[in-house]
């Protein structure tokens, strides 16, 4: 409470809280309610069987002593004012409980009672399994128009539960009030269902309970929100924004995790979407320090994911998890290592809006032949079954333009494409181009059984596994042993991802080779014409080379 609204002394409590019997003449309605529902007893010698009796004494310490003023006992509990003003309530005989406990449950989560020797199949086949006190209430609403005027809490005032027949029947005598079982907000949907049961009248199904103004919502929480039974969480959004002026990013993430664990927010995903930029404070700086790159930039999705990872770690330390909050996004666990991988971060470091504009412009400029090649390659990537292509064309036919179009198309979708070439000059023409030898660490001295020097647990291996396409320009310049080494290496690296790739070229990765045999022949120092045909033999073996 605000300091201006706090009650500094117990004397100020008396005008607000009353534990006294009301005046029967001045307030007859309140007197009647207190008389019927709020007076404890009779217990003690008049009723030794009362549930409050423990060791022949009332466990609730009734009757209470008279007191002219409210006070606090030695244990810190309040002792409310009870003046001896002559007001009283008379209850003769044994009082039966006037409160009916009303159980409830989520769909198909009712309790089932059976013996230890009962066969589970026989138990599940009993018609009573699908029935409960709660579902019987909805069935009664379907056939009784009077019942449809009452909430679940009000139901026992007009109806009585027949235990033997397991149905509700109109009450002829007596009065009772209902009390729904309390649940913790941590139970999620069960908690929101309980809130609705205090408001919704006459539902005949769970869908009716979730229906507001003719619209059936997907969850009880959304129905509560639509009815205005939950706050809009604006106070928590404002609190995080205010805290951002003096608190660090870690403090804000810890604050958000604390709010989650306390179940304070009605819609935590809404608070997240409105405050994630504040919660992500310091994430980019930490990544720049980790990779020693002052120019490093991260996309929105990467920032969100890294922020969620830190919030998840805070929750895990407190025996909780983001999975406990239905509509909250969860971090991509597989990308955790990717976020710490400098090579992957570099390949994803581009402006999506610029990429999209380039793609729209370049795709329209493709010729029919280029478009067919483009669609075939993109189809192989989407099917994720691997594929090896060779684009054969003389200089000026637009191979480089095709490489650039394919690259922006893949990067626009948030995927990785590695552009390599056989020479340093040719690699400069490709977006993000590198020489094939430097990118894949291909040995300079090639043999028939050599491998690329790639650590299976290193950053480069992770980059290759995450790559969607590899484009290798001016491929005819390289000896066939280089491709064979790359083929063996990829199969070895990707075997942990798919154990069936032993017969698939390049471990199932989609690779596009390009070049012109008439323009650039393979460089074989001191080699004969026969040696220069090795490249043709390799692609004929792969089944990818077609005559121009």
Distance CA 531, CA 548 (A): 22
* pLDDT over 90, % of the chain: 16
- pLDDT tens for residues 478-504? 888 899 999 999 888 887 555 555 678
| pLDDT value of position 338 | 57
Is the pLDDT at 470 greater than 90? The verdict is yes
255 domain residue, yes or no: yes
pTM, two decimal places: 0.42
Final residue belonging to a domain, choices 292, 315, 340: 340
489 domain residue, yes or no: yes
Is the pLDDT at 336 greater than 60? The verdict is no
Strands 434-435 and 416-421: parallel
408: domain CATH number is 3.40.50.300
- pLDDT tens for residues 377-412? 999 998 888 889 999 887 778 889 999 999 999 988
- pLDDT tens for residues 32-70? 888 888 887 777 766 777 778 888 888 877 777 778 788
Q: Where are the beta strands (DSSP E) in 330-405?
A: 387-392
Helix pair 459-466, 480-494: axis angle to 10 deg: 90
Instruction: Quote the number of domains for the chain.
Output: 4
Strand partners, 513: 390, 472
- pLDDT tens for residues 210-235? 998 888 988 888 888 888 777 678 88
363 and 492 fall within a common domain = yes
What contacts 24+ positions apart, CB below 8 Å, involve 87-92?
87/20, 87/21, 87/22, 87/23, 87/24, 88/21, 89/21, 89/34, 89/35, 89/39, 91/39, 91/41, 91/42
53 and 194 fall within a common domain = no
308 and 411 fall within a common domain = no
Helix pair 352-364, 399-412: axis angle to 10 deg: 140
| Best CA proximity match to 185, nearest among 118, 266, 298, 85 | 266
- pLDDT tens for residues 415-456? 899 999 988 888 888 888 989 998 999 988 888 889 998 888
221 and 247 fall within a common domain = no
- 154-40-60 Cα angle (round to 5): 120
| pLDDT value of position 502 | 60
303 and 220 fall within a common domain = no
547 domain residue, yes or no: no
135 and 27 fall within a common domain = no
Least confident window among 343-347, 401-405, 466-470, 526-530: 526-530
Distance CA 70, CA 63 (A): 17
| pLDDT value of position 8 | 60
**In contact, 361 and 407? CB cutoff 8 Å:** no
Tokens 């992500």 correspond to what residue?
280
486 domain residue, yes or no: yes
Q: 131 exposed, middle or buried (CB, 10 Å; 0-12, 13-18, 19+)?
A: middle
240 and 219 fall within a common domain = no
Q: pLDDT band for position 331 (50/70/90)?
A: confident
334 domain residue, yes or no: yes
268 domain residue, yes or no: yes
Q: If you average pLDDT over every residue of the chain, what do you get? A: 81
3 domain residue, yes or no: no
CB-based contacts of 280, cutoff 8 Å, min separation 6: 249, 303, 304, 306, 307
250 and 369 fall within a common domain = no
| pLDDT value of position 97 | 42
Final residue belonging to a domain, choices 168, 192, 226: 226
- pLDDT tens for residues 39-49? 877 777 667 77
390 and 530 fall within a common domain = yes
| pLDDT value of position 512 | 92
Distance CA 363, CA 371 (A): 8
272 and 321 fall within a common domain = yes
What residue numbers bound the domain in which 41 lies? Answer: 10-79
310 and 389 fall within a common domain = no
In this structure, how many other beta carbons lie within 10 angstroms of the beta carbon of residue 137? 25
Final residue belonging to a domain, choices 175, 191, 226: 226
Over residues 361-384, mean pLDDT = 90
| pLDDT value of position 86 | 67
85 domain residue, yes or no: no
| pLDDT value of position 545 | 46
Q: pLDDT band for position 94 (50/70/90)?
A: very low
243 and 122 fall within a common domain = no
């Amino acid at each position: 409470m605000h300091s201006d609204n706090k009650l500094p002394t117990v004397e100020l409590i008396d005008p607000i809280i009353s534990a006294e019997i009301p005046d029967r003449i001045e307030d007859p309605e309140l007197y009647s309610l207190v008389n019927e529902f709020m007076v404890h007893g009779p217990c003690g010698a008049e009723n030794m069987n009362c549930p409050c009796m423990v060791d022949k004494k009332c466990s609730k310490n009734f009757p209470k002593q008279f007191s002219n003023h409210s006070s606090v006992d030695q244990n810190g509990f309040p002792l409310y004012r009870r003046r001896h003003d002559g007001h009283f309530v008379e209850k003769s005989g044994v009082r039966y409980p006037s409160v009916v406990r009303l159980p409830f449950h989520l769909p198909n989560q009712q309790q089932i009672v059976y013996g230890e020797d009962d066969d589970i199949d026989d138990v599940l086949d009993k018609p009573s399994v699908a029935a409960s006190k709660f579902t019987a209430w909805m069935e009664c609403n379907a056939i009784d128009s009077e019942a449809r005027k009452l909430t679940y809490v009000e139901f026992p005032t007009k109806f009585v539960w027949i235990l033997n027949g397991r149905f509700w029947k109109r009450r002829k005598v007596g009065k009772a009030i209902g009390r729904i079982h309390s649940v913790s907000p941590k139970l999620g949907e069960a908690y929101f269902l309980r809130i609705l049961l205090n408001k919704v009248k006459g539902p005949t199904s769970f869908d009716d309970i979730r229906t507001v103004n003719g619209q059936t919502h997907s969850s009880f929480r959304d129905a509560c929100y639509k009815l205005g039974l939950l706050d809009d969480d604006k106070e928590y959004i404002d609190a995080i924004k205010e805290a951002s002026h003096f608190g660090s990013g870690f403090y804000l993430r810890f604050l958000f995790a604390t709010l989650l664990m306390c179940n304070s927010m009605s819609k935590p995903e809404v608070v997240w979407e409105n405050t994630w930029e504040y919660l992500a404070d310091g994430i980019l700086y930490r990544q720049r320090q980790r990779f020693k790159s002052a120019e490093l930039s991260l996309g929105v999705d990467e920032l969100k994911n890294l922020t969620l990872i830190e919030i998840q770690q805070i929750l895990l330390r407190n025996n909780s998890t983001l999975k406990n909050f239905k509509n909250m996004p969860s971090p991509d666990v597989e990308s955790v290592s990717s976020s710490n991988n400098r090579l992957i971060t570099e390949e994803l470091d581009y402006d999506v809006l610029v990429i999209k504009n380039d793609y729209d412009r370049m795709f329209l400029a493709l010729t029919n032949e280029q478009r067919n090649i483009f669609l075939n390659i993109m189809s192989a990537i989407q099917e994720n079954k691997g594929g090896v292509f060779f684009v054969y064309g003389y200089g000026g036919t637009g191979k480089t333009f095709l490489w650039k179009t394919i690259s922006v198309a893949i990067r626009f979708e948030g995927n990785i494409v590695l552009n390599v070439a056989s020479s340093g000059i040719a690699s400069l023409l490709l977006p993000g181009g590198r020489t094939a030898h430097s990118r894949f660490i291909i040995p300079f001295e090639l043999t028939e059984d050599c491998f690329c020097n790639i650590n299976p647990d290193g950053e480069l291996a992770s980059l290759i596994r995450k790559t969607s396409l590899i484009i290798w320009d001016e491929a005819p310049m390289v000896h066939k042993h280089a491709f064979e080494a790359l083929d063996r290496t990829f199969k070895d690296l990707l075997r942990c991802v798919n154990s069936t790739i032993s017969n698939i070229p390049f471990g199932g990765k989609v690779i596009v080779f390009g070049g012109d045999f008439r323009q650039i022949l393979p460089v074989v120092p001191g080699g004969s014409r026969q040696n220069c045909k090795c490249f043709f033999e390799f692609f004929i073996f792969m089944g990818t080379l077609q005559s121009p």
